Amino acid sequence: MKFISFFLSLILIISFNNILSQDFSKKSIHQEQLEYYNSIGKNYSYYENLKPAIKSKEKKRSNCQLNKVVYGWHPYWVGSTYQNYEWDLLSHFSYFSYEVNPVDGSPLTTNGWNNSSAVDAALASGNTKVTLTVSLFSDHSTFFNSSSAPQNLISSLINLVQTRGAHGVNIDFEGLPSAYKQQFATFMQNLSNQMHASIPGSEVSTVLYAVDWNNVFDFTLMEPYVDQYIIMGYAYYYQGSSSTGPCDPLYQFGSTYNYTLSRTISDYLNKGCPKNKLILGLPYYGYQWPTSGNNIPSNTIGSGTAKTYKQIKNNVSGNYSQNNHFYDQDSYTDIFKFNDNGFKQCFISLDDGFRKRLEHVNTTGIGGIGIWALGYDDGYNNLWNSINDYLTNCYSDSCVNEIHDFGGPSKNYYNNEDYIWTIAPDFTWNIDVDFTFFDLELDYDYLYIYDGPNVFSPQINGSPFTGTNSPGSFTTTSGSVTFRFYSDMATTNPGFLATYNCNLSPVSSSFNNDLNISIYPNPVTNNLKIDFNSSKKKLINSDLIILNSFGKVVKKKTIENNKSIIINVEDLDSGYYFLSFNLNSKQVLPFVKY
C-alpha cells in the first residue's frame, strides 16, 4: 500500500507539473519590472538624483554581526534609496542588471554599473560585497547554441567586475527549458572557474525558481563551483493567478495549491543543493487583485499589481488600514480586503510574517536570505530591525514559542524532509515542552528529541516518536533541547504541534555581595548606570548583557577598564529586564524600564 500510494502521488505530481510547466508566458517580477522601467525611458542617474524617503527613527543597535547571508538586489530604478541602506546588515549588494544580448553575450545595457553612485556607496561601505546581476529572460537557444556568446559573456563580466573593484556576479537566467540543463550547468562551471581564477575571493551565484517545474538545475554538475543558490521565493501566486493568495506562502494557504517556501527549501535540499549555500529570496512586495467577491480567497477578475512594503505602510489610499486587515495563520501572510471601485484583495508579508520567515531560515539551517528588492521599504526600519534580531550573532531563541512540523501549524508536513534544530534561549535553566498534537506516518516518519544542545545529547524517554505516540509533556535537564524530524518519500500526515516555555536562571541573592555591583536608577527611563565598584578587575573584557522577560538578549556591551558605564535604554519597550555578564551567566539582576 505504501508503494502504491507513492506511485499514485508521483503520477499526480508529474501531471500537475506538465500542466503548469507550459505556462512560461508568465513573467517573473524581475522581468516584469525591468521591462516596465525600461519602457519609461529614464536611466539610472535620473533615479539616483531623486530624494530618498525620510527614514523613520533608527533603532539603536548593539554591536551585532551578520552570521547569515543577506543578499539584496538593487534595481537601477530604486535609485537614491541606497542612502537608507544599513550596510552592516547587508552582506551582498547586487546591481540589477547587465542585460544580455543573446546573440553574442555582450551587454544590451549595464544600466549604469560603471558610474552608479549606489555601487560607489556599496563599495565604500567596507562591509558589503558588490556583485552585478546578469539577466536573460528569453532567446536561450540563441545564446546556448552560439559557439562564442557564453565565453564572450564570461570575459565581459570578469572585465566589468575587475574594473569596478567588485566581488562577483549573480546569474538571473529565467524560463530555461529543460533542454538546456546541461549547457546551463556547464556555463556556470566555466563562469565560476574563470571568475575565481581571475579575481581571487570573488563569488558567483545563480537564482533558483520558486518551483523548478522543468528540473533545470543540476547540482551534481554545478557543485562545488557555484558559491550561492538564491531561491526567488515569490510569485507562488502571481499577477496572472486566477485566485487570490500569498506571493510567498511560508506554509500552505488554503487546501488546494500546495507549493510553499517551506516545500521549496526541502525540494532543493533533496536535489543536492548544499544547505549552507541555499539562500531564500523574500519579497518586499505583494500582489493586489480586483476580485469577484469579498471572501478570502476570491477569484480574480483582472491582473494583479505589485504593491511594495513602502506603499502599504504609507497607506496613501487609506485602503491598508487595520479595519481592512486580516492575517492568515497558516501561510503567515497579511491580507487587506476592501471595496475601491470594486472588490480588491492585497496579500503581502509585513513585519510579523517576515520575522516568521527569518525564524524558518534559522530552523532549517540554510545560508540566509535574499531581498527583492532593496529600497522597496524605503523610509522604514522594521525589516532591517528583523534582520538584526534574527540573522546576526545577537539572535536568541524566544523564551516562549510554538513548535510545529515543516508543513506549518495546521497542514501536513512534506515528503523527504530531514531537519535538525536546537532551541536554546539565553540564560535558560531548563525548558518545559508540551506537545498538544502528534500524528506521523507510523514506522516511516519520526521525531527524535534530544535533551541537550545537539544530536549527541541523550534522547528523552520514548524517542524517536512515530504514529500517534506523542512525546507529551516533559522538562529538559538543561537550557537546550534538540529536535530531528525525518519523513520518507511518500505519505504525509498532519504532523505535530507543541509549545515551550523556558525557565530563566535563578536570581542569586549573593549577586551584589559577590560582585559588588550597583545599578540605578531602577526603575529607569533613559540612562541606566552600572557601578562596578571593587568588581571591575573581575569583569574586564566580559560582556554586559541585558535580556527581556522572554530571555532574549536586547543589548550587549563589552566592559572595558571603567569604574562605571552608562547604557541608554530609551529604545527598549516598557517592562521587566535582567542584567547579567557572560562571566557569571547564571546570575542576573532585574530592573524595570518605564
The per-residue pLDDT for range 323-363, each reduced to its tens digit, is 999 999 999 999 999 999 999 999 999 999 999 999 999 99
Q: Encode 465-478: b = buried (16+ Cβ within 10 Å), e = exposed.
A: bbeeebbeebebee
pLDDT given at position 540:
60
CATH fold of 400-504, please? Jelly Rolls (2.60.120)
Burial of 190 (0-12, 13-18, 19+ CB in 10 A): middle
Residue listed under C-alpha cell 511594495: 308
| pLDDT above 60: residue 219 | yes
- Supply φ then ψ for residue 387, to 5 degrees: -60, -45
Question: What's the rounded Cα separation, in Å, for the pair 580 and 469?
Answer: 40
Query: For the residues 3-12, what does the mean pLDDT come to?
Result: 34
Mean pLDDT over all residues of the chain?
90
Three-state secondary structure of 299-322? EECCCCEEEEHHHHHHCCCCCCCH
- Kindly indicate whether the domain formed by 2-390 is annotated with CATH number 1.10.20.140: no
Question: What's the rounded Cα separation, in Å, for the pair 508 and 585?
Answer: 11
In terms of C-beta distances under 8 Å and separation of at least 24 residues, what long-range contacts does 506-514 make, across chains too? 506/429, 506/586, 507/578, 507/587, 507/588, 507/589, 507/590, 508/586, 508/587, 511/587, 511/588, 511/589, 512/589, 514/584, 514/587
pLDDT given at position 17:
36
Q: What share of the chain is helix, strand, coil (3-state, %, to 5)?
A: 30, 30, 45
- Taking phi first (over 0 means left), then psi (-120 to 50 degrees means alpha), and beta for anything else, what does residue 156 get? alpha
| pLDDT above 70: residue 456 | yes
In 233-308 the beta strands, taken as DSSP E runs, fall at 278-283, 285-290, 305-308
Question: What's the rounded Cα separation, in Å, for the pair 495 and 437?
Answer: 8
Query: For the residues 53-68, what does the mean pLDDT come to?
Result: 76
Question: What's the rounded Cα separation, in Å, for the pair 294 and 291?
Answer: 7
Given pLDDT bands bounded at 50, 70 and 90, which one contains residue 187?
very high
- Which three cell numbers mark 308? 511594495
Query: For the residues 132-159, what does the mean pLDDT come to?
Result: 98
Lowest mean pLDDT, pick from 52-61, 92-101, 446-455, 510-519: 510-519
Most distant CA atoms of the chain, gap in Å: 79
Q: Which residue has the higher pLDDT, 559 or 230?
A: 230
Question: What's the rounded Cα separation, in Å, for the pair 419 and 365?
Answer: 8
Radius of gyration of the chain (CA): 26
Query: Taking a C-beta distance cutoff of 8 angstroms, is the pair 207, 232 a contact?
Result: yes
> What is the share, in percent, of the chain residues with pLDDT greater than 70?
89
Q: Which of 581, 564, 580 is nearest to 591 (CA)?
A: 580
Domain boundaries, the chain: 2-390, 400-504, 511-593
The answer for residues whose C-beta is within 8 angstroms of residue 272's C-beta and 6 or more apart is 219, 220, 223
Spell out the CATH class of 511-593.
mainly beta
Query: Taking a C-beta distance cutoff of 8 angstroms, is the pair 402, 499 a contact?
Result: yes
pLDDT in tens, 413-423: 999 999 999 99
Query: Taking a C-beta distance cutoff of 8 angstroms, is the pair 172, 133 a contact?
Result: yes
The conformation of residue 196, written as its DSSP 8-state character, comes to H
pLDDT in tens, 29-49: 999 999 999 999 999 999 999
User: For residue 253, how many other CB atoms are within 10 A of its CB?
Assistant: 28
The answer for residues whose C-beta is within 8 angstroms of residue 14's C-beta and 6 or more apart is none
- Which three cell numbers mark 530? 552600572
Q: Is the peptide bond before 224 cis (omega within 30 degrees of 0)?
A: yes
pLDDT given at position 181:
98
Burial of 54 (0-12, 13-18, 19+ CB in 10 A): exposed
Given pLDDT bands bounded at 50, 70 and 90, which one contains residue 59?
low
pLDDT in tens, 242-273: 999 999 999 999 988 899 999 999 999 999 99
- Which three cell numbers mark 296? 478570502
Residue-by-residue DSSP string for 336-388: EEEESSSEEEEEE--HHHHHHHHHHHHHHT--EEEEETTTTTTT--HHHHHHH
> Helix 261-271 crosses helix 351-364 at what angle (to 10 degrees)?
20
Given pLDDT bands bounded at 50, 70 and 90, which one contains residue 581?
confident
Q: Which of 97, 108, 172, 98 is nearest to 140 (CA)?
A: 172
Query: For the residues 42-61, what does the mean pLDDT come to?
Result: 82
pLDDT given at position 60:
57
| pLDDT above 70: residue 527 | yes
Question: What's the rounded Cα separation, in Å, for the pair 506 and 429?
Answer: 8
The answer for residues whose C-beta is within 8 angstroms of residue 83's C-beta and 6 or more apart is 52, 121
The answer for residues whose C-beta is within 8 angstroms of residue 155's C-beta and 6 or more apart is none
End-to-end CA distance of the chain: 63
